[in-house]
Structure 1
Amino acid sequence: MKAPVSWIRELVDLPADVTTDDLTARLTALGLKLEAVERAGAGITGPLVVGRVLTMEPEPQKNGKTINWCTVDVGDANGTGEPQGIVCGAHNFAPGDLVVTVLPGGVLPGDFRISARKTYGHVSAGMICSSSELGLGEEHDGIIVLPADAGEPGDDVFDLLGLREEVIEFEINPDRAYALSLRGIAREAALAYDLPYVDPAERDVPPADDHGHPVVVDDAAGCPLFVARTVTGFDATAPTPDWMVRRLQQAGMRSISLGVDVTNYVMLELGQPLHAYDGDTLDGAIRVRRAEPGERITTLDDTDRELAPEDLLIADATGPIGIAGVMGGARTEMSASTTHVVVESAHFDATSVFRSGKRHRISSEAGKRNERGVDPRLPEVAADRAVELLTALGGGRADTGVTVVGQAPAPAVVHARADLPARVTGMPISAETTVAHLRAVGCTVEVDAEALTVTAPTWRPDVTDPFDLVEEVARIVGYDEVPSVLPTEAAGRGLTREQRLRRRVGRVLAGAGCVEAISFPFVGEATFDALGLPAEDPLRRTVRLANPISSEEPAYTTTLLPGLLRAAARNLGRGAAGVALFETGTVAFPVDGGPAPIYGVEQRPSDAELQALLDAIPRQPQHLSVVLAGERERAGWWGEGRDAGWADALAVLRRVATELGIGLEVGAATRMPWHPGRCAEVAVGDGDDRVVVGHAGELHPRVCKAFDLPPRSAAVEVDLDALLRHAVDVVPGPVVSGFPLAKEDVALVVAESVTAADVEAALVAGAGELLESIRLFDVYRSEQLGEGRKSLAFALRLRAPDRTLTDDEIVAARQSAVDAAVERTGAVQRV
Structure 2
Amino acid sequence: MKFSESWLRSHVPTTASRDELSAVLTAIGLEVEEVTALGAGLDNVVVARIVEATRHPEADRLQICKVDAGQAELLQIVCGAPNARPGLVAPLAMVGAQIGELKIKPAKLRGVESNGMLCSAKELGLDNDASGLLELPDDAPVGTTLVDYLGLPDASIEIKLTPNRADCFSVRGIAFDVAAATRSEVKPFAADAVPAQGARELSIQLDAGAEAPRYLGRVIEGVNAAATTPLWMAERLRRSGVRPVSLLVDITQYVMLEIGQPMHAYDLDTLKGSIAVRRSRAGESLKLLDGRDAALDDSFLVVTDADRPVGLAGLMGGFDTRVTDATSKVFLEAAHFAPAAIMGRGRKLGLHTDAGHRFERGVDPQLPRTAIEYATKLVMDLAGGTPAPVTEAVREADLPVAARILLRRARIVRVLGIQIEDAEVERILRALGMQVEAVADGWNVTGPSRRFDIAIEEDLIEELARIHGYESIPTTLPGGAARIAMPSETRLDDLSVRRQLVAREMLETINFAFVDAELLT
TM-score normalised to the size of structure 2? 0.89
Aligned partner letter, 1:72? V
CA-CA distance at 1:2 after TM superposition: 1.6
The answer (yes or no) to whether the contact 1:350–1:372 under 8 Å persists in 2 is: yes
Cα distance in 1 for partners of 2:470, 2:426 equals: 18
Aligned position for 1:685: 504
Q: Is the Cα–Cα contact under 8 Å of residues 200 and 270 in structure 1 kept in the other structure?
A: no
Q: AA paired with 1:685? A: R
2:67 matched residue in structure 1: 72
- Letter paired with 1:112: L
Q: Which residue of 2 is the match for residue 377 of structure 1?
A: 366
Give the Cα–Cα distance (whole angstroms) in 2 for the partners of residues 56 and 219 of structure 1. 59
More moved, 352-361 vs 139-148: 139-148
- Distance change in 2, residues 1:197/1:275 (3 Å): same
Distance 1:687 1:148 in 2: 97
Counterpart secondary structure, 1:132: coil
CA distance in 2, matches of 1:343, 1:475: 38
Q: What pairs up with 1:561-572 in 2 under 5 angstroms?
A: none
Please tell me whether the aligned partners of residues 35 and 157 of structure 2 are also in contact (alpha carbons under 8 angstroms).
yes
**1:115 is matched with which residue?**
105
CA 1:288–1:436: 2 relative to 1, 3 Å: same
SS at match of 1:133: coil
Matched, 1:448 2:445: no
Report the Cα offset of residue 383 of structure 1.
0.6
The answer (yes or no) to whether the contact 1:215–1:405 under 8 Å persists in 2 is no
Q: Residue 429 of structure 1 aligns to which amino acid in structure 2? A: I
Q: 1:83 to 1:424 in 2, by over 3 A?
A: same
Q: Distance in 2 between matches of 1:187 and 1:204?
A: 24
1:428 aligns with 2:419: yes
Letter in 1 for 2:32: L
In the TM superposition, 1:694-733 aligns within 5 A as none
Alignment partner of 1:482 is 2:473 = yes
The equivalent residue for 2:3 is 3
Aligned-partner Cα distance in 2 for 1:41–1:217: 48
CA distance in 1, matches of 2:386, 2:479: 72
| Contact 2:181 2:468 (8 Å CA) reproduced | no
Which consecutive unaligned segments of at least 5 residues does structure 1 have? 498-661, 665-682, 691-831
Structure 2 counterparts to residues 580-595 of structure 1, below 5 A: none
Q: Match for residue 143 of structure 1?
A: 133
| 1:206 to 1:428, Cα distance in 2 relative to 1, 3 A | farther
Tell me how far apart the structure 2 counterparts of residues 381 and 136 of structure 1 sit (CA, whole Å).
31
Report deviation, 1:29: 2.1
Alpha-carbon distance in 2 for matches of 1:181, 1:392: 22
Aligned to 2:259: 270
1-structure distance, mates of 2:45, 2:81:
18
Larger Rg: 1
1:309 maps to: 298
Aligned-pair distance for 1:205? 6.2
The one-letter amino acid paired with 1:37 is V
CA offsets 1:444-472 (integer angstroms, 9 cap, x no match): 12233115322111110110111101111
Query: What is the distance in 1 between the residues matched to 2:124 and 2:208?
Result: 49
Query: Which amino acid counterpart does residue 49 of structure 2 have in structure 1?
Result: R
The CA distance in 2 between the partners of 1:186 and 1:261, in whole Å, is: 22
1:48 matches 2:45: yes
Aligned mates of 2:414, 2:195 — CA distance in 1: 47
Q: Does 1:352 align with 2:341?
A: yes
2:278 maps to 1:280: no
CA distance in structure 2 between the partners assigned to 1:376 and 1:104 by the alignment: 54
Rate the CA distance shift 1:422–1:206 in 2: closer, same or farther, 3 A: farther
- Indicate if the aligned counterparts of 2:302 and 2:312 stay in contact, CA closer than 8 A: yes
Q: Which residue of 2 aligns with 1:582?
A: none
Question: CA distance change for structure 1 residues 186 and 416 in 2, over 3 Å: closer, same or farther?
Answer: closer
- 2 CA distance for matches of 1:369 and 1:177? 6
Distance 1:183 1:346 in 2: 19
Indicate how the Cα distance of structure 1 residues 67 and 290 shifts in structure 2: closer, same or farther if over 3 A, else same.
same
**Match of 2:408?**
417
- Tell me which residue corresponds to 1:458: 449
User: Taking structure 1 as reference, are residues 412 and 212 closer, same or farther at Cα in structure 2, changes over 3 Å only?
Assistant: farther
CA offsets per residue over residues 771-807 of structure 1, 9 Å max, x none? xxxxxxxxxxxxxxxxxxxxxxxxxxxxxxxxxxxxx
Say which of 235, 241, 265 aligns to 1:246.
235
What runs of 5+ residues in structure 2 fail to find an aligned partner? 489-498, 510-521
The answer as to whether partners of 1:240 and 1:258 remain within 8 angstroms in 2 is yes
Q: How many residues in Structure 1 have an aligned counterpart in Structure 2?
A: 498
Is the 8 Å Cα contact of residues 421 and 434 (structure 1) preserved in structure 2?
no
1:46-99 per-position Cα deviation (integer Å, ceiling 9, x unaligned): 62122333432223546xx242112323345xxxx5433211123534445433
Aligned mates of 1:280, 1:168 — CA distance in 2: 40
Following the alignment from structure 1 to structure 2, what is the Cα–Cα distance between the partners of residues 401 and 684?
A: 80
Tell me the secondary structure at the aligned position of residue 259 of structure 1: helix
- Secondary structure of 1:221 counterpart: helix
Give the structure 1 partner of residue 496 of structure 2.
Answer: none
Kept after mapping to 1: 8 A contact 2:191/2:373: no
Partner of 1:419: helix, strand, or coil? helix
**Contact 1:53/1:98 (8 A) holds in 2:** yes
Choose from 256, 260, 283 the match for 2:249.
260
Give the AA of the match of 2:461.
V
